[in-house]
Structure 1
Amino acid sequence: MNTENYLICFKLPILILKTFGFWKEEPWSKLRWMYSILIRYLFLDCIVIAYSVHLIKSLGIRSIADISTTLSYLLTIYGLFFKSMWIIIKQKKIRSMMKSLEELLKVTSFGKTNERNLMQHENNRMMKVERIFYGSSIVLAFFVLIKAIAFDSRIGKIPLDTWIFFNMEPNSFLYWLVVAQECFATLFVIIVNFSLDMIQIVFMHYLTVMLKELSIEIESIQPEDDTKDYDRFCKCVDCFVQLKDLGGEISTHLSLTFFVQAILSSVILCTSAFLLSTLSFTNEMPIIIRTVIYGISMMIQIFLPCYYGNELTLISNKISTTLFHSKWLDGSKKYKKAVTIFMENAKRSINISAFGFVFVDIGTLTTILNSTYSLYALVSKLNTK
């Protein structure tokens, strides 16, 4: 198995970002540049303006439930706008990090030559996660289309309430043009949003798997042949140091997008929960289904980075324990000294964080859910007054 297959988990999110003009290809032609600007204008900039105007016009006129619905969609689009700009700015650095990861994979093939069953197994698992991740966005966009055809068209409504600068007759050509634009925009916003998040998630995935391989290699070292085993151990030390450096780069260049998403997810999940509490199960079932699917998509979007960040920290913490329980006491004085130094270094685990205090782990996920509930309780209380 070659290194290109190891990095297969990056292919789908990067392919999607390339398709919609958010990942710069080399060389970047003028036609491709114009296509990127057009896509961004039609399905991001225009939507930001339309929903912002709609939200402003809704204040003081419409109910809190209607405003919360608009706000949740608008925050998703704002999040995409910021994250896409950040990824474009950091794209050269991300490419450099991917190159470093590829080089590290080439020189750290532990065990039998060209056999990395653990890596292949975990990559297959990640590919399944990606399919579920993107599948939820396709389901949501498809449901928006079905809702428009089966329900909204009967009363001349568009699927997602927004500001439109022209008059539109129900079931006219312009009406269906807006419906098609909203359905495609829903798919566009969610899958591009997911792809931007997947870049960080996949990096954490590879670091976690390589730390697992490293742990297995450390356990297998039998310090009998002084020179050979010492060289193997030094290779492990070098791998750990490089993984730690790569983890630091992820925190520096990618975790800001998680910080933004964490804040937005708290509000979006709150507004979705509040909206569900105001809807009628008999008269507004299509809106309920759409809101549930949307809420699940947002939940997956914040759960996955927290899960993989938590897994990375846990396996990193186990390296020191694995070292301690290995047969290092049977080695030479030089070997034991190297292990002692490495154990001290391994005590500082690999943590992905934004600004050094917002950690990408399950603890942060719990905080987000607690904040969501607090916001929900506050909004519900305001709505009853």
Structure 2
Amino acid sequence: MVVRKYFPSMYTKEDSAPAKSRNATLYLLRCVFLMGIRTPPQRFFVVYCLWSFALNLCSTFYQPIGFMTGYISHLSEFTPGEFLTSLQVAFNAWSCSTKVVIVWILVKRFDVATEILDEMDKMLTKSSERRNVHRAVALSNRIFFFFMTVYIGYATSTFISAIFMGRPPYQNYYPWLDWRASKWQYWLQTGLEYFAMLGACFQDVCVDCYPINFVLPLRAHMANFAQRLRNLGNDPDESADERYAKLVKCIKDHKVILRFCDTLRPMIGGTIFVQLLVVGLVMGFTLINIVKFADFGSRVAALSFMSAVLLETTPFCTLCNYLTDDSLKLADALFESNWIDQEKRYKTTLTHFLHNLQKPIVFMAGNVFTISVATNLTASKFSFSVFTLVQNMDIAEKLGKLSKPHEN
């Protein structure tokens, strides 16, 4: 029970415990702080600034440049497998850096969103409602640690595979450092690349998992809200004014939900748009590497990488489909309530509210296309187009021939 002691929010609390939806993002926001993109604390101001500078210099800003400079400087020295391993990560590194910058600019929206979650918690009155939130909180944190395990697993497996091959994992360019010159320079470059990739994976977990960590408690609140809508007008002891007041309160609660979505929409739209642009290309290079060039160790690392790439979009795109369905069910729940025998004022207000509830809650990727499973599949299928193009143009065979002089 050591894990439960140090990570209690990974476990479902009792129904009697007060609901704290913000705990669904507890470990996420701690890691966002460790990314070095929050306001430095007064107590450790210098330490935090130095850590932020080191991590973001290596992982956010220099790593994408190091990949491209390494290709230009030592392209002829790459084997095909090493080149594709580095290339697939390079594209993802550029997208990761872009997503980190987007989150960095909009990071204060996390604080606004957690405050709105606190508002939603005040709406809960029944143990069944708290139970739904407790389950969402536990599931959210478990997903976050699952993401962390997969991403860090990829970085570590690539590092171990590189050690056995005797070459740095990605052969990035570092000024005044030539890993071929001596053993200590080899280990220094390998360590620097591992640190940079660990930092990038750590950042990637945060920028890829935050939509899930925020949307899961939202879905729990929407399920509770649907039940409250369904129960409107069913209490025979209520007066007409009390029933109308409950309806007005539900309208205000719905506005809180919409405000929560509007708070996160710019950040989610930006980061998911960037990832959907590169997911097909990255997976295409990974498939080519696995099928044509990779040995056993490299295949393990490539499969870990592919799993991480799929995690960047697939779970949240699936959640968006569920969220849209949840929002449409709200209109059904209100229509199923006892409204037929109510007064004219109640019916008129309910009619306008019902019209607003029929508008689905959707997130857009860069205001260009809807984030959904269909969009994710379309982006992922591009990887097979890349693989087919390489097959038809015999690019893989040409790379293999170019590598033979290097191997000899």
Q: TM-score, normalised by structure 1?
A: 0.88
Q: Residue 272 of structure 1: CA displacement? A: 0.8
C-alpha distance after superposition, 1:214-268 (max 9, x if no partner): 0111122316322333222222211112212322332223311110011121211
Cα 1:285–1:170 change in 2 (3 A) is: farther
Residue in structure 2 matching 1:73, options 70, 89, 94: 89
> Are the aligned partners of 1:324 and 1:343 in contact in 2 as well (CA < 8 Å)?
yes
Matching residue of 1:336: 347
Matching residue of 1:104: 120
Residue in structure 2 matching 1:22, options 37, 56, 67: 37
Q: Please, which moves more after superposition, 164-173 or 293-302? A: 164-173
Residue in structure 1 matching 2:335, options 306, 320, 324: 324
C-alpha distance after superposition, 1:316-372 (max 9, x if no partner): 011111222222213332222222111111111111113433222212112112222
Q: Aligned partners of 1:175 and 1:216: how far apart in 2?
A: 62
Number of equivalent positions: 375
Residue in structure 2 matching 1:38, options 50, 54, 65: 54
Matching residue of 1:365: 376
Q: Aligned partners of 1:63 and 1:329: how far apart in 2?
A: 74
Q: Aligned partners of 2:327 and 2:251: how far apart in 1?
A: 13
Q: Which amino acid aligns with 1:9?
A: A
Q: Which amino acid aligns with 1:204?
A: V
Cα 1:160–1:64 change in 2 (3 A) is: closer
> Are the aligned partners of 2:40 and 2:49 in contact in 1 as well (CA < 8 Å)?
no
C-alpha distance after superposition, 1:177-220 (max 9, x if no partner): 22223233322211211101222222222322211110111122
Q: Which amino acid aligns with 1:293?
A: S
Q: Aligned partners of 1:229 and 1:343: how far apart in 2?
A: 16
1:312 pairs with 2:323: yes
Matching residue of 2:388: 377
Matches within 5 A, 1:134-173: 134-149=148-163, 151-152=164-165, 156-165=166-175, 166-169=177-180, 172-173=183-184
Matching residue of 2:278: 264
Q: Please, which moves more after superposition, 54-63 or 359-368? A: 54-63
> Are the aligned partners of 1:10 and 1:199 in contact in 2 as well (CA < 8 Å)?
yes
Residue in structure 2 matching 1:219, options 222, 230, 235: 230
Q: Aligned partners of 1:318 and 1:252: how far apart in 2?
A: 25
> Are the aligned partners of 2:179 and 2:187 in contact in 1 as well (CA < 8 Å)?
no
Q: Which amino acid aligns with 1:32?
A: Y
Q: Please, which moves more after superposition, 172-181 or 127-136? A: 172-181
Q: Aligned partners of 2:174 and 2:368: how far apart in 1?
A: 42
Q: Please, which moves more after superposition, 288-297 or 78-87? A: 78-87
Q: Which amino acid aligns with 1:193?
A: D
Gap runs ≥5 in structure 2: 1-16, 399-408
Q: Aligned partners of 1:115 and 1:351: how far apart in 2?
A: 24
Q: Aligned partners of 2:158 and 2:289: how far apart in 1?
A: 17
SS at match of 1:140: helix
1:9 pairs with 2:19: no
Q: Please, which moves more after superposition, 18-27 or 56-65? A: 56-65
> Are the aligned partners of 1:261 and 1:302 in contact in 2 as well (CA < 8 Å)?
yes
> Are the aligned partners of 1:65 and 1:274 in contact in 2 as well (CA < 8 Å)?
no
Matching residue of 2:260: 246
Q: Aligned partners of 2:383 and 2:74: how far apart in 1?
A: 23
Cα 1:23–1:379 change in 2 (3 A) is: farther
Q: Which amino acid aligns with 2:170?
A: L
Gap runs ≥5 in structure 1: none
> Are the aligned partners of 2:22 and 2:118 in contact in 1 as well (CA < 8 Å)?
yes
Q: Which amino acid aligns with 1:324?
A: F
Q: Which amino acid aligns with 2:66?
A: A
Q: Residue 277 of structure 1: CA displacement? A: 1.8
Q: Indicate the percent of aligned positions where both proteins have the same amino acid.
A: 18
Matching residue of 2:66: 50
Q: Which amino acid aligns with 1:203?
A: F
> Are the aligned partners of 2:283 and 2:306 in contact in 1 as well (CA < 8 Å)?
yes
Q: Residue 89 of structure 1: CA displacement? A: 1.3
Q: Which amino acid aligns with 1:370?
A: K
Q: Residue 2 of structure 1: CA displacement? A: 4.1
1:85 pairs with 2:71: no
